[in-house]
Amino acid sequence: MFVAEIFYRMVSRRMGLSVIILILLMTFSASLYSACNSEFEKWCLLVYCDTDSERSRDVDSIGLYVLNELEEGLEKNDIDILFLWDRASGNDAVYQVVADHTPLIRSKIIKKFKEINSGSSDTLKDFIIQGKELYPNRRYMLVIFNHGFSWRGCCSDSHADEIEDIHIQKWNEYMSLHELHRGLDESGGVDILGFCSCMMASIEVMYELRNDTKVIIASEGLSGAMYWPWKKLVEVLSRSSSDNLTNLSEKIIDAFSVYNRNTRFVHRILSLLLGIYSYPREFYILAYVYPPHFTISAVGTEGIASLAKDIDKLSICFTNNIEEYRKTITRARSRVEDFPVPLSVNELFGDQIDIVHFCEIMSKMVNNQTIQYDLKRIKDKVSYLVIAEYHERGHPKANGLSIYFPPRHLKNVRFDWQFKKIGLKFSLDVYSRSVEFCEDTNWDDFLKTYLWGSG
């Protein structure tokens, strides 16, 4: 009995010591994992700011506004921010953004340029690589700020002709979707890609960049720096660093919603003032008269290829039965939510339409079961891919994702005041040749059959 008690106490002590050692090891391992993982979870925001698209120094004030907002946002939040600024006035630079609440720029210039071409994929690639080298082991969000043209691309640069570069052959350089993909692909891509640019929430953009980022945040219609909650974006990235991309994207869109509801009156007054003092006057005055028209959505890219296949099936069905459904398609096109750019009394129709709204209208007009099935699949896929969206009452039927579908009176090659500056055309031929979405689907063939056919 006495021997058994001694043995029991020895075993108990050894087991107790083992438990203590095990607890210490687990605590150390958890601390080590947390230390390693916290660096990876921290966000790095890369802002690609191109205000060199108008040859007007007044536009640089928008870049100054964005940079000041980011500096102020860092005062109570902890993320890393790198800011490339291509100015209309020259003296381009890359800034390491620091916290500051004054109107002055306190951020540190880490690289200067006499002039850079922000319409080049090489410039974008070098900037992303620079951010990743300066802030390794982060989660990365890239925001591109400039004009957006949906499938035509973005980031026009009005001083591209002044750079001694054999690759530049025209006066006003811009970045096509293919070039945008190349810049992202060669730099390793980013976790979230944001476009502070008009009309970039389109299936053509999403499809081209589907392997370069996991989430794209963009607008179906008009956008601009004043619609973006820059300080709140910094706060969300800082305080939600461990969130998955779906939850984080929802919080970002919610920040857009709250911000734009609270600043709607300010936006309208600014539109009126710009209409009085700026060009094009008609655009800004009508932006004041029109109801609030901002849209923003966060779209996951993982299922974009599947959506494209469903759109391809619908395109083939429409093309093969065009004479039967031409009038129905025309009626649906006249009623669908679209996105005119610019707002104009002369141009009430845009050439981008909301995919879901078009499917909803068509499903009420046709009885063909195959088409009904294709329309439902497309609606369901878009609803799944759009993580969150916000729209104002100027676009009540916006659902977060658009597609190119010009009305019939825009079927021929023509120019718009904004696109004319960089030679971008309303051309189906250009659309077919320059967009990967058209290479892999028959949507462009359907458009040609519908727009150029008789009837």
pLDDT digits (tens, 9 = 90+) for 353-382: 999 999 999 999 999 999 999 999 999 999
The stretch 2-6 carries a mean pLDDT of: 48
Token digits for 144? Answer: 């591109």
Is it the case that residue 16 has pLDDT exceeding 60? no
Same domain, 341 and 432: yes
pTM metric for this prediction: 0.84
- 121 lies in some domain: yes
- β strands within 5-116, DSSP E: 43-50, 80-86, 92-96, 108-113
Q: Which domain holds residue 329?
A: 303-382+398-452
- 5 lies in some domain: no
One-letter amino acid at 320 equals N
Can you say how many angstroms the Cα of residue 393 is from the centroid of all Cα atoms in its chain? Answer: 21
Element (H, E) at 36: helix 2-41
Residue among 45, 424, 352, 305 nearest 201 (CA) = 352
What DSSP assignment string belongs to 162-223? Answer: GS--TT--SSSEEE-HHHHHHHHHHTT--SEEEEESTT--BHHHHHHTTTT-SEEEE-SS--
What is the spatial distance between Cα 408 and Cα 148, in angstroms, rounded to a whole number? 23
Same domain, 351 and 287: no
More confident call, 272 vs 85: 85
Q: Band of the pLDDT at 410, cuts 50, 70, 90?
A: low
Q: Which residues pair with 338 in a beta bridge?
A: 353
Q: Which residues pair with 218 in a beta bridge?
A: 297
Element (H, E) at 363: helix 355-365
Is it the case that residue 265 has pLDDT exceeding 70? no
Is it the case that residue 422 has pLDDT exceeding 90? no
- 36 lies in some domain: no
Domain boundary among 276, 299, 322: 299
Q: Are strands 352-354 and 402-404 parallel, antiparallel or unpaired?
A: antiparallel
- 25 lies in some domain: no
Element (H, E) at 320: helix 304-320
- 336-374 burial, b for 16+ CB within 10 Å, e for fewer? bbbbbbbbeeebebbbbbbbbbbbbbbbeebeeeebeeb
Domain boundary among 273, 299, 325: 299
- The answer to whether the bond into 396 is cis (omega within 30° of 0) is no
Same domain, 93 and 191: yes
Same domain, 275 and 350: no
More confident call, 60 vs 49: 49
Same domain, 234 and 87: yes
What is the spatial distance between Cα 155 and Cα 176, in angstroms, rounded to a whole number? 9
Same domain, 103 and 221: yes
Residue among 334, 348, 444, 339 nearest 400 (CA) = 339
What is the spatial distance between Cα 313 and Cα 298, in angstroms, rounded to a whole number? 25
**Which CATH number fits the domain that encloses residue 233?**
3.40.50.11970
Is it the case that residue 18 has pLDDT exceeding 50? yes
More confident call, 97 vs 410: 97
Helix 121-134 × helix 177-186 angle, to 10°:
30
What is the spatial distance between Cα 259 and Cα 165, in angstroms, rounded to a whole number? 42
What is the spatial distance between Cα 165 and Cα 162, in angstroms, rounded to a whole number? 9
Look at residue 204 in the predicted model and tell me its pLDDT: 98
Q: Band of the pLDDT at 88, cuts 50, 70, 90?
A: confident
Same domain, 183 and 288: yes
First to last CA, the chain: 106
- 284 lies in some domain: yes
Q: Which long-range contacts (CB under 8 A, 24 or more apart) does 360-369 make?
A: 361/332, 361/335, 361/336, 362/328, 362/329, 362/332, 365/328, 365/331, 365/332, 366/325, 366/328, 368/317, 368/321
Same domain, 274 and 325: no
Same domain, 255 and 335: no
> How many separate domains does the chain show?
2
Look at residue 340 in the predicted model and tell me its pLDDT: 80
- 34 lies in some domain: no
Same domain, 235 and 344: no
The stretch 10-34 carries a mean pLDDT of: 47
Tens of pLDDT, residue by residue over 238-248, are: 999 889 999 99
Domain boundary among 258, 275, 299: 299
The stretch 346-358 carries a mean pLDDT of: 83
Is it the case that residue 278 has pLDDT exceeding 60? no
Look at residue 78 in the predicted model and tell me its pLDDT: 92
**Helices assigned H by DSSP within 192-303:** 203-208, 230-239, 245-262, 264-277, 281-289
Same domain, 295 and 331: no
Among 210-219, 256-265, 287-296, top mean pLDDT goes to: 210-219
- 208 lies in some domain: yes
Is it the case that residue 35 has pLDDT exceeding 70? no
The stretch 73-102 carries a mean pLDDT of: 93
The total number of residues shown for the chain amounts to 455
Same domain, 230 and 120: yes
Look at residue 415 in the predicted model and tell me its pLDDT: 40
- 270 lies in some domain: yes
Look at residue 274 in the predicted model and tell me its pLDDT: 55
Q: How many CB atoms lie within 10 A of CB 286?
A: 17
Q: Which residues pair with 86 in a beta bridge?
A: 50
